[in-house]
Amino acid sequence: MATSSAGPEIERLIQLLAKLPGLGPRSARRAALHLLKKQDALMRPMAEALSDAADKITACSICGNLDVSDPCSICTAPGREPTTICVVETVGDIWALERAAAFKGRYHVLGGVLSPLDGVRPEDLNIGKLLDRAAKPEIKEIVLALNATVDGQTTAHYLADRLDGLDVSITSLARGVPVGGELDYLDDGTLTAAFKSRRPA
């Protein structure tokens, strides 16, 4: 189905852009037009960056992170705590935690969460390798840093069950009042979770 009156090259560009998350056909047309207007300043550098990334970036065979080397730079960094593994849903979650510089151990990317509705089963996720890693004697703690969604929490419970019996402590991120947050503005779920995870003041 044609989305513009442009030639096949532009059509193809629009159709590819429309596959990106958050871009429907309308915003894909706007993005394509913007790229075409800025061919030298934006379109060619972007094409090179895409091609370069596609050639060089690969998934780490240990943790699933995306990097130019396998094992990735986090798995091989000598300064990082080798005893703790932080389990996340996606590589984007590693980026968020690294931006915050909140964690100095190693990661494990599941590649999604269990979801009966979407047909995502345990064997669809990177769980087997996690169990192998968790069973190594140097591992002392597994942090389940999954999203506070129903599927994220179902997955955390499933993993906690599977990891039960290993000589590791299993922890999860605290749920609560965000830094700078005012109680009156919090949604009910956040407020309830904060109340449940209250601690001695």
How far apart are alpha carbons 152 and 130 in whole angstroms? Answer: 16
**Of the ranges 19-27, 75-83, 150-158, 185-193, which one interacts with Zn ion (CB under 5 A)?**
75-83
Assess 65 for contact with Zn ion (CB under 5 A).
yes
Assess 84 for contact with Zn ion (CB under 5 A).
no
CB distance 156 to 85 below 8 Å: no
**CB 52: neighbour CB atoms within 10 A?**
11
Backbone φ and ψ for 39, nearest 5 degrees, come out as: -60, -45
The one among 63, 109, 134, 146 contacting Zn ion by CB under 5 A = 63
CB distance 172 to 156 below 8 Å: yes
Task: Give min distance, CB of 15 to Zn ion, in A.
Answer: 34
Task: Give min distance, CB of 108 to Zn ion, in A.
Answer: 8
Assess 110 for contact with Zn ion (CB under 5 A).
no
CB distance 105 to 88 below 8 Å: no
Assess 75 for contact with Zn ion (CB under 5 A).
yes
Q: Which is nearer to Zn ion, 32 or 94 (CB)?
A: 94
Q: Which is nearer to Zn ion, 13 or 86 (CB)?
A: 86
**Of the ranges 35-43, 62-70, 146-154, 162-170, which one interacts with Zn ion (CB under 5 A)?**
62-70
**Of the ranges 46-54, 56-64, 93-101, 159-167, which one interacts with Zn ion (CB under 5 A)?**
56-64
Assess 60 for contact with Zn ion (CB under 5 A).
yes
**Of the ranges 18-26, 38-46, 52-60, 180-188, which one interacts with Zn ion (CB under 5 A)?**
52-60
The one among 14, 17, 35, 62 contacting Zn ion by CB under 5 A = 62
Backbone φ and ψ for 171, nearest 5 degrees, come out as: -125, 165
CA-wise closest residue to 108 among 158, 143, 70? 143
CB distance 45 to 39 below 8 Å: no
CB distance 6 to 28 below 8 Å: no
Quick one: tokens of 67?
């990097």
Assess 94 for contact with Zn ion (CB under 5 A).
no
Task: Give min distance, CB of 115 to Zn ion, in A.
Answer: 25
The amino acid sitting at 52 is D
Residues at the interface with Zn ion (CB under 5 A)? 60, 62-63, 65, 71-72, 75
